[in-house]
Amino acid sequence: MIKWILILLIIAAVAGLLGMNSVAGAAMTGVKILIGIVLVLFLLAVLGIVAIA
């Protein structure tokens, strides 16, 4: 999932540099959602609620 976050960040950066603001905004929205999911899963794993194998 971290790989997808990095890919979307690169897409957002390139689109922002090329002036495609709507594409950059969409990519950043995806990044925010994925970071939220990763943080929730991390907190659940730290608290021992979910065992990640």
pLDDT tens for 20-38 read 999 999 999 999 999 999 9
Total domains, the chain: 1
As given in the structure block, the two tokens for residue 18 are: 């090329």
Res. 6: pLDDT tops 80: yes
pLDDT of residue 9: 93
**Domain region containing 46:** 1-51
pTM: 0.78
Res. 16: pLDDT tops 90: yes
Q: Please compute the mean of the pLDDT values over residues 1-10 and round it to a whole number.
A: 91
Pairwise pLDDT comparison (52 vs 9), residue with the higher score = 9
Q: Is 8 exposed, middle or buried (0-12, 13-18, 19+ CB in 10 A)?
A: buried
Res. 53: pLDDT tops 70: no
